[in-house]
Structure 1
Amino acid sequence: MSKRLAQRADSRETEIAAVAADALEGRVPAGSLVCGDPDGVVEAALGGPVWNRYAYDGRPAQPWPPEGAFPGAVLRQPRGWGAFAMTLHALAARLPEGAPLWIYGGNDEGVTSIPKRLEGLFGEPETLAIKRRARVLELRRTGAPARGGLEDWREVVSVGDAELVSYPGLFAHGRLDPGTELLLGALPKIYADQSVLDFGCGAGVIAHTVRRRVPEGRLTLLDMDSVALHAARQNVPDAAHVLSDGWSAVPAKRDFDLILSNPPLHRGKEEDFGALEALVRGAKDRLKPRGALIAVVQRSAGVGKLFASVLKNVEALAETPQYQVWRGGV
C-alpha cells in the first residue's frame, strides 16, 4: 500500500513540474533563481541557481534565499498560506522592481487564489499555462517593501505549557498537535544515559519535552525542513541537529536507544506513506540492542502490520479514534 501511495505522490509532483518546465522553456532569464523544486525537474530544464528550503533527496537546503539580486525567480507554490507569504517576501527581497516571478502549482492546491495573496509585492498575474490540473502564473515585482529577513518572521508561540520559537509553515505552528500530545503522554521513562532521536522534529516539540524531563539526556533532532531545524536549534540548543531527507544523512549504525517520531504522511496534498515505511525500516539498523522506535500515526495508516514485519515486541501504547502510538524494538 505504501509503495503505491508514494508512487502516486511522486508522479503527481513530476506532472506539475513538467507543466511548468514546458511553459517556461526559453522564457526565463539566465541566472534566475529556481525555488522549491522537489524533484529537480524544473531545475534540470531551466538551469540557474537554486534555493530549496527542504533537503530533497539529500540536496543542499537553507532556510532563506542566497544573497544577491536575481533577474527573475521560479517558485513551486509552497504548501500552506503562511509558508507562501514568508516565501513570497523572501523572493521579493531578492528581485528588483519589474523583475518576473513565475509560480506554478496544482489547481487543488489553491494556485487560483494566489492573486488575492500578493500583499502588494507583485502585480496582477498573467496565466501562462493551464494543463493537467496545474497552472503557471507570471507576475512582476512592484516597489512595495518586503519583510526580507528570516528573523522578521520569527514568532514565540505557546505549545502546551511551553514557549517555543516557530516560523510560518511549520507543522502545527502555534499549537500542540493532538498526535504529538498522545505520543508525549505515552512516553516511557527516559534515562540520562540513553541516546534519543526526534525523527521529523519540526520545531522540536517532542525533543523539548524530553529535555525538560531528562535535562542531561543525549538528544539528536532530524528534519528535512531547514526552517524547522533553524527553529529547533533555538528551542533545543544543547542537542545535535541533522538536516536530512529521512535517513539519508544518518549513518546506518546502532547509535540510538530510542527513536521518537510523528512522521509526515503527505507529500503536498497527496497521501504518501513512503516516509513512514522508510522510518520503520531504517530504524531497525540504527537502534541499539533493546532499543525502540515509538511513533504516532493516524489509525488509517494501518501501521501495526508494518511494525510487526520489521521490529520485535510490537505493541500499541495508546490510541484515540484518530491516532495510535506504536512501539517496536530490536
Structure 2
Amino acid sequence: MTDSLTTLVAPQRTAEIHRHPHRAKSQLRGWDAADEYVLEHVAELDLGPDSRIAIVNDAFGALGVVLADHQPVDVSDSENARIGRSANLERNGLTGRASRSSFDELDGEIDLLILKIPKSLGQLEDQLRRLRPFLTENTVVLGAGMTKAIHSSTLELFESLVGPTSTSLARKKARLIHATVDPSSDIGRNPWPRAWRYAGLDVASHGGVFSAEKIDGGTQMLLQSMGAVDWPTRIVDLGCGNGIIGLTLAKQIPDAELVFADESHRALRSAEESWAANYPDRTAEFLAIDRLVNAVDRDSVDLIVTNPPFHSDRSMGDAVAWDMFVDAYATLQVDGELWVVGNRHLGYHAKVKKIFGNGEVVASNTTYVVLQARRT
C-alpha cells in the first residue's frame, strides 16, 4: 500500500518524495500537479541518454529524482529545496549533481530547460535572463506551474526573454508554458538587482527578495522601536532578506559581529552585496540555513532580530516563524534578546511568550506589532 502524500507515480519511475522540513501533521505533498504534468510531457520527448537537462525551482527535488537517470543540473535558490532534494535522492537510492544557485553559470548549452514558475515575477525575470545564454534554437523550454501562478505577465516575460510562447490546456489546475528560443532577440540589460537607499545605507535586492525596492513598513517600525542599540557584540539578522536590519545595526555598533541568515540564496546574495557596498573593510557571516540551530552554536548570540515570513513559497502558516523563535531561544545567551515584528493577526506575542516565558509589546499599530523577549 502506497502513501498518497509521499508516493509520486510518473512515467519514468515511481518515487518516494518528502517535504523538507518534515511537519508531522502536514497534508501537503512534496510535489504538485504541475510536476506531474511536465513529467508526462517530458516522457513523450525524444531524450537521449546524454541529453543535457536543467531543472530550475524544483521544490523538493521531485523532478530531479524522477529524471535522475539523465543527471540533470539542479538550479535552486532555496536551501530547504536543496536539502529536500538531496534527502529524496538518497531515499530513492539515487545520486545527483550538487545544486547550484541562479547566480552560478551553467557548464554549457542545454537541451531541455524545465522551469517551475516562482511566485515572484522579478525572480522569474532574473532567472530567465541568467539562463538565456545557455539556450539555443534547439533547446526545449518548458515552464510549469499551477494556473493561479501563470498570468499574462508571466507569458510576456517568456515571450520577450526567450521567444514565441504558448500555453497548454489546464490539467488538474496546472498548466505548461512552451517557449521557442529566438537566438536573434536582444534581451537588453538585466535590471536586477534593484538598488535603493535607507538611512544613508545602500541596499541591493535581487528579484524574489522581500521588499525589493524600498523598506517595508514592518521592518521600519521595528528599527524605529529599537532606537539606539550599543550593547550587543554578536547579532543575528534572522531571515535577513536584503539585510537592511543587520546593515542598520552594524552602523550603530561598529565593533559588532554580524551574522546574516536566510533560507534563500537570493536573499543572502542581496545581503552580501549590500554589506560590501556599505562596509567594504568589515567582515560579516552569511549563512544559508534551514534552521538557525543547525548553523549557529547554542548560547552564543546576544541579539536576534527578525521579521519572519508567514509563507513559504505558496504555503501559508506560522510553522516557519515558530521554528525561528525556538531556534532563537536555543542560540541566545542568557539575557540575550529577541526582537520581532509581525502582522497583528499572526499572534506572535503568544508564541514568543510560550517559548521564552516572557514577551513585551514594544510598539503596535493597526497593522504591525513589535515584540521584545529576553532569554532568562
- Larger Rg: 1 or 2? 2
Q: Deviations over 1:54-112 (max 9, x none)?
A: 21255345242433211121111122222111111112121112311111112112345
2:26 to 1, 4, 7: 7
Residue identity in the other structure for 1:88: L
Paired residues of 2:76 and 2:82 also in contact (CA < 8 A): no
Q: Alignment partner of 2:134: what SS?
A: coil
Alignment of 1:36-75 (within 5 A): 36-47=57-68, 48-57=72-81, 59=83, 60-67=99-106, 68-75=108-115
Listed as ranges, the matches of 1:128-143 within 5 Å are 128=168, 130-143=170-183
**Deviations along 1:177-223, whole A, 9 cap, x unmatched?**
00101110121653355211000111110011001111111110011
The correspondence of residues 206-285 of structure 1 with structure 2, limited to 5 A, is 206-237=245-276, 238-247=283-292, 249-285=294-330
Deviation per residue, 1:129-181 (Å, 9 max, x gap): 52222212222211124468x8x733421235432222232211111100101
Residue identity opposite 2:36 in structure 1: A
Does the 8 A contact of 1:222 with 1:242 survive in 2? yes
Counterpart check, 1:174 vs 2:213: yes
2-structure distance, mates of 1:227, 1:329: 31
The answer to which of 253-262 and 231-240 deviates more is: 231-240
Q: Structure 2, unaligned stretches of length 5 or more?
A: 1-21, 84-98, 277-282
* Letter of the 2:260 counterpart: L
Alignment correspondent of 2:136: 96
1:291 aligns with 2:336: yes
For 1:306 and 1:139, how far apart are their aligned partners in 2? Answer: 46
Distance (Å, rounded) in 2 between the aligned partners of 1:114 and 1:46: 26
Asked if 1 retains the 8 angstrom alpha-carbon contact of 2:125 and 2:157, the reply is yes
Q: Is the 8 A contact 2:359 2:374 kept in 1?
A: yes
Correspondence list, 1:15-164, <5 A: 15-27=33-45, 29=47, 30-47=51-68, 48-57=72-81, 59=83, 60-67=99-106, 68-111=108-151, 113-128=153-168, 130-143=170-183, 144-146=185-187, 153-164=192-203
The answer (yes or no) to whether the contact 2:236–2:303 under 8 Å persists in 1 is yes
Aligned partners of 1:63 and 1:230 also within 8 Å: no
**In structure 2, distance between residues paired with 1:249 and 1:165:** 27
Give the root-mean-square deviation of aligned CA atoms: 2.6
Q: Is the 8 A contact 2:306 2:339 kept in 1?
A: yes
Change (3 A) 1:253 1:230: same
Instruction: Indicate if the aligned counterparts of 2:293 and 2:331 stay in contact, CA closer than 8 A.
Output: no
2:369 aligned residue (319, 324, 327): 324
Q: Aligned to 1:285, what secondary structure does the other structure show?
A: helix
Residue matched to 2:89 = none
Report sequence identity in percent: 19
Structure 1 residues 15 and 290: alpha-carbon distance in aligned structure 2, compared to 1, 3 A threshold = farther
Q: How far apart are the structure 2 equivalents of 1:297 and 1:291?
A: 20
Q: TM-score, normalised by structure 2?
A: 0.78
User: For residues 14 and 290 of structure 1, do their structure 2 counterparts lie closer, same or farther at Cα, with a shift above 3 Å needed?
Assistant: farther
Distance 2:172 2:30 in 1: 10
3-state secondary structure, aligned to 1:97: coil
| Counterpart contact for 1:160–1:176, Cα < 8 Å | no
Q: Secondary structure at the match of 1:93?
A: helix
Taking the aligned partners of 1:184 and 1:11, their CA distance within structure 2 comes to 38
What is the CA deviation profile of residues 34-54 of structure 1, one whole-angstrom value per residue up to 9, with x for unaligned ones?
111111111111231111122
Would you say the 8 A contact 1:57–1:248 is kept in 2? no
Q: Normalized against structure 1, the TM-score is what? A: 0.88
**Between Structure 1 and Structure 2, how many residues are aligned?**
325
Give 1:79's aligned amino acid. Answer: K
Task: Give distance in 2, aligned partners of 1:173 and 1:73.
Answer: 27
Which residue does 2:15 correspond to in 1? none
Q: Secondary structure at the match of 1:7?
A: coil
Higher RCO (CA-CA < 8 Å; seq separation 6+)? 1
C-alpha distance in 2, partners of 1:262/1:19?
36
For the 8 Å contact 1:53–1:63, the answer to whether it is kept is yes
**C-alpha offsets along residues 226-270 of structure 1, whole Å, 9 cap, x if unaligned?**
222122112224211111123264145111111101111112333
Query: Residue 273 of structure 2 aligns to a residue in which SS?
Result: helix
Report the 3-state secondary structure (helix = DSSP H, G, I; strand = E; otherwise coil) of the residue aligned with 1:328: strand
Look up the SS of the partner of 2:291 in the other structure: coil
Matched AA of 1:319:
S
SS in 2 for 1:116: helix
